[in-house]
A and B are shown apart, each in its own frame.
Chain A
Amino acid sequence: MKGIVYTETVVHAAPAAFVAEAPYQIAIVTLEDGKRVTGRIVGERVQVDDPVEGIEMRAGVPFFRRAA
């Protein structure tokens, strides 16, 4: 699953269920077929227009990292 970052944010004030994970990065990624999905970014922070690749699904949420 490859795509381009459409938009992103780093969340500092998290909802109750995710407080322990903050700060964390969320992005909307435009996939190769044009569909957009909301997921998490792991590793290096990304910016709008950066290429990313999916690494796994956790509890129904796609996790991405910066692609080379």
Chain B
Amino acid sequence: MRNVAVIGIGKTPFGVFADRDLRSLAIESGDKCLKNGHVSPREVEAFYLGNFAGPSFVGQSHLAPFIASKMGIIGVPATRFEAACASSGSAFFHAFSAVAAGLHDIVLVTGVEKMTSQQTARVSEILAMAGDCGTEGKAGATFPALFAMIARRHMHDYGTTREHLAAVAVKNHANGAKNPDAHLKKPITLEQALAGKPIAEPLTLFDCSLVSDGAASVLLAPLERAHEFTDKPVRVLGIAQTSDYVALDEKRDITTFDAVRTAAGQAYARSGVTAKDIQFAEIHDCFTIAEIIAIEDLGFVEKGQGGFYTMEGHTCLQGERPVNTSGGLKAKGHPVGATGVAQICDVVLQIRGQAGERQLKRNQLGLAQNLGGSGASCVVTVLGAA
């Protein structure tokens, strides 16, 4: 196995862009990324695309060559990866594997989703296809409903409260307000978060991530060649992808994501670090309860303490372990297929010292955790200064 580095990053802003189509978003992020890594399209040896539901959202399949060719990347492997909300995390994992194995040197990974051209009820229906359509779907369970049931059980078992959930939203909105590329740049109060419109009890509008358009890209290369392209390479210290049952009712315990625990364990072992060493993280807060459970499953806190730890302010920008300095899926936005790669970009920005108003001082070892569905796919990546 060769050591692998991120040599370039590029993102579109996230938001509602009525005049932009899926391909133009992907191309914008790819072009920015190639420029950032000082790589020409002809040097790219493989293209990995993360996209959850382009065929349903915009009616186009065969998306990887559809996008790559218009970036000037032609004649090389171009493949779309689908793992629900972990689609581009999965694309990144497979791109990393190919570079580490010595199959390719320069690879481009792009994640994209164009969601806002559909009505909300149709968006819910498309997202619900990441669950078990034959059981959960037929019963009328949306994704908010699945995470609402997770929240209910977590509250029952560990004493997590509505205020704990709201504290995640308040923190991530505060961070998003400092991120020029975030979908929502508006701080909210705890009172506002608690008084949100009910979506699936106990979750309100403020517990749910956003329906967004956007794209993100990263370039990977062998670490030994990284300095040909950038003076700020960031090393992928360790990465793991895992899986679990799709249906919530088949999982052992819905208050913990086994896929996250396993991926974290493998990623830490491959990186030679422990949970305690991680200085900051981008976490998959598709719903507020998901961030609370993730910081438990990643080993940042004891099981059941995620809500209390958040309420005490330990995960805010000034806290001992900042989580989602980008604003997270909650405020930065959640164009589903773009999220995994966007998280990598945000960790890289921190390590490079380019995170602007949200820049951390303890920024040398970061983690990204990308979750698919209600925990059936997970990718955990540990990144560090090269």
Within B102-141, which residues are at the interface with A (CB < 8 Å)?
119-122, 124-125, 128, 134-136, 138-141
Asked if B139 and A38 sit within 8 Å, CB to CB, the answer is: yes
Within A9-59, which residues are at the interface with B (CB < 8 Å)?
9-19, 21, 24, 26-28, 36-40, 48-49, 59
Helix, strand, loop or mixed for chain B's interface? helix
- Determine the distance from Cα of A60 to Cα of B136 in the docked complex, in whole angstroms: 11
Given the known A-B contacts A17-B125, A38-B141, A38-B247, are A9 and B153 also in contact in the complex, defined by CB atoms under 8 Å? Answer: no
B58 interface residue, CB < 8 Å from A? no
Which residues from B are CB-within-8-Å of A28? Answer: 149, 248-249, 254
Partner of A9, one of B121, B125, B145: B145
A61 interface residue, CB < 8 Å from B? yes
Given the known A-B contacts A17-B125, A38-B141, A38-B249, are A10 and B135 also in contact in the complex, defined by CB atoms under 8 Å? Answer: no
Asked if A48 and B152 sit within 8 Å, CB to CB, the answer is: yes
Which residues from A are CB-within-8-Å of B254? Answer: 6-7, 28
Number of A interface residues, CB 8 Å?
29
B200 interface residue, CB < 8 Å from A? yes
- Determine the distance from Cα of A65 to Cα of B37 in the docked complex, in whole angstroms: 60
Which residues from B are CB-within-8-Å of A24? Answer: 140
Which residues from A are CB-within-8-Å of B200? Answer: 9-13
Asked if A48 and B156 sit within 8 Å, CB to CB, the answer is: yes
Given the known A-B contacts A11-B140, A60-B134, are A26 and B149 also in contact in the complex, defined by CB atoms under 8 Å? Answer: yes
B201 interface residue, CB < 8 Å from A? yes
Asked if A9 and B139 sit within 8 Å, CB to CB, the answer is: no
Asked if B150 and A60 sit within 8 Å, CB to CB, the answer is: no
Which residues from B are CB-within-8-Å of A10? Answer: 198, 200-201
B144 interface residue, CB < 8 Å from A? yes
B51 interface residue, CB < 8 Å from A? no
- Residue of B142, B156, B198, B250 with most partner-chain A CB within 10 A: B142
Asked if A15 and B140 sit within 8 Å, CB to CB, the answer is: yes
Asked if A6 and B153 sit within 8 Å, CB to CB, the answer is: yes
Chain A nearest CB from B135 CB (Å) reads 5
B199 interface residue, CB < 8 Å from A? yes
- Determine the distance from Cα of A10 to Cα of B140 in the docked complex, in whole angstroms: 11
B148 interface residue, CB < 8 Å from A? yes
Asked if A11 and B152 sit within 8 Å, CB to CB, the answer is: no
Partner of B149, one of A9, A15, A17, A21: A9
Asked if A16 and B124 sit within 8 Å, CB to CB, the answer is: yes
- Determine the distance from Cα of A26 to Cα of B145 in the docked complex, in whole angstroms: 8
Asked if A38 and B135 sit within 8 Å, CB to CB, the answer is: yes
Which residues from A are CB-within-8-Å of B203? Answer: 9
Chain B nearest CB from A48 CB (Å) reads 5
Partner of A15, one of B128, B148, B250: B128
Interface residues in chain A, defined as those with a beta carbon under 8 Å from any beta carbon in chain B? 6-19, 21, 24, 26-28, 36-40, 48-49, 59-61
Query: What are 8 inter-chain pairs, A to B, with CB distance below 8 A?
Result: A7-B254, A9-B203, A11-B200, A12-B201, A15-B125, A15-B140, A26-B149, A59-B138
For the complex of A and B, the 7 pairs showing the least CB-CB separation, nearest first, are A9-B148, A16-B121, A36-B249, A18-B140, A7-B153, A7-B149, A15-B124
Interface residues in chain B, defined as those with a beta carbon under 8 Å from any beta carbon in chain A? 119-122, 124-125, 128, 134-136, 138-142, 144-145, 148-150, 152-153, 156, 197-203, 247-250, 254
7 more A-B residue pairs beyond the given contacts A13-B124, A38-B141, with a C-beta to C-beta distance below 8 A? A9-B200, A11-B200, A14-B124, A16-B119, A26-B140, A38-B249, A61-B135
